[in-house]
A and B are shown apart, each in its own frame.
Chain A
């Protein structure tokens, strides 16, 4: 073993230091950065990134629940989309943290949905379109009265040659630029979706194309200048420092932001979750200079899905240190709504699954009994309307039963019933497994029945109140 290089004396204390500057509990844990800039070596040069500055930069979430999110499921009905849009407006709040959402424009239903969403009168999320990069499609955008539309401008050679069958890259760029021109002429802001950018030739294709888009933008009014969406179509993006292009998220953003000069507010990251990197990559994009992170509710999207919008919301608060008008309770309402219309959300899914803050371990239940902050990520009752819970199994122990009963009766502090008073119910639970060989979790309904039977006095006292 190497000799220790630095001694670390114990800082003894008789009172706990709960690090509340970082873990305020009434908010998600804050992401705090040291004062030093982050350094990434790009083309042999050390480049500094002011990631701490994200707290004061205008970053936003954009939504694609109705576009990418709908490519992975049967279509939503118009009523369902209008309801979801209404809740997105509530969730993102009046400051437009959820700044935009995009709609297909091709069918009668697409257009009716858009009209009804806009009729709700919400300032945010702004409604934008999504079309193929075909000149004729601008008629749809114009007819819908939209100011901005996304268009697919695929940029890896897998797409340029293998899918789109262009004879050369130059021909491909000319074709894309014709459509961008048409958009600008029509007074519509084009948002170029650089599909498959994490598998593209960045120096040989992407940067020359973006240079040309920037040149075209310089002739257009500011509110029509081209936006760029970096589409990590197959989830190849990696956020670690030191990774080479085209997979490096930091380097991609650097190249577009600082070399091509695309301002942060016109850069957007769109990820996919094929390698479980989707949320970290979207957050990294924010930190390195991307203004918008594109997301879908509960990450539902093509194949493995997109950055989960509700996670982006929690990340946003963690980075900003403030809710900024966000109504986090809408996350739980949206999850309930999605379940009610048949969208499956796994029980252990963060922030929204039925059991995301449910423990099955007796030792965790004991911790919750003593102080819920020991095993709860933040005040989930306050922010999500979801107090921490205990699922009762053979691993729950007496502490699990105690937590369940007190939550069930809504008892806090000194009013909580202690384990001595609940030993009969705890015994019944243990016997289910030890005597009767049960293998499944005991449901809330079963526990209610047994609580009434074995704790009649408490039932009388507290259920009458409830």
Chain B
């Protein structure tokens, strides 16, 4: 199974149409990767689908960069009893 970070990067690359190899943990979704307002929402929806979880809207949308998203999603997975490769 791919790690949370690999899966987050893959989803991010697909939604934002960027090369997954260029995505770094410190990258901001909006400033560095160019996510628009609606793409930010699409990212959250795609993460939910990818991991089979439900995230609290305001908290999820306040996550700024890729590394923080990995940590945030891993926490939600643990809280909701979803198996992940860390």
Contacts and interface: CB of A to CB of B under 8 A. Distances in A.
B79 interface: no
A418 interface: yes
Contacts, number: 30
Given A420-B48, A420-B55, A423-B42, A362 B60 contact: no
B62 to A, nearest CB: 13
A420 B38 contact: no
A372 B34 CA distance: 31
B77 interface: no
A24 to B, nearest CB: 29
Interface string B60-83: 110000000000000000000000
Contacts of A418: 57
B57 A419 contact: yes
A433 to B, nearest CB: 11
Interface string A367-397: 0000000000000000000000000000001
Contacts of B41: 398, 419-420, 422-423, 426
A398 B41 CA distance: 8
Contacts of A463: none
A427 B48 contact: no
A426 B38 contact: yes
Kindly name the residue among A418, A421, A430 whose own CB sees the greatest number of chain B CB atoms within 10 A: A418
Nearest to B42: A423
Nearest to B40: A398
Given A420-B55, A420-B60, A398 B44 contact: no
Interface in B16-55: 36-38, 41-42, 44-45, 48, 55
B45 A420 contact: yes
Contacts of B38: 397-398, 423, 426-427, 430
A423 B60 CA distance: 14
Interface size class of A (residues with CB under 8 A): 10 to 19
A421 B61 CA distance: 13
A421 B60 CA distance: 13
A393 B19 CA distance: 31
B20 to A, nearest CB: 21
Contacts of A423: 38, 41-42, 44-45
A398 B61 CA distance: 12
A420 B44 contact: yes
Contacts of A397: 37-38
A422 B44 CA distance: 11
B41 to A, nearest CB: 5
Interface in A406-429: 418-423, 426-427
Contacts of B37: 362, 397-398
A430 B41 CA distance: 13
B57 A427 contact: no
Kindly name the residue among A397, A420, A426 whose own CB sees the greatest number of chain B CB atoms within 10 A: A420
A423 to B, nearest CB: 5
Nearest to A418: B57
Nearest to A366: B37
Contacts of A362: 37
Nearest to B56: A418
A418 B37 CA distance: 14
Nearest to B60: A420
Given A398-B38, A419-B57, A419-B61, 8 more contacts: A397-B37, A398-B37, A419-B41, A420-B45, A420-B48, A420-B60, A421-B45, A430-B38
16 contacts: A362-B37, A397-B37, A398-B38, A418-B57, A419-B41, A419-B57, A419-B61, A420-B41, A420-B45, A420-B57, A423-B42, A423-B45, A426-B41, A427-B38, A430-B36, A430-B38
9 shortest interchain CB distances as A-B pairs = A418-B57, A423-B45, A423-B41, A426-B38, A423-B42, A420-B45, A419-B41, A430-B38, A398-B41
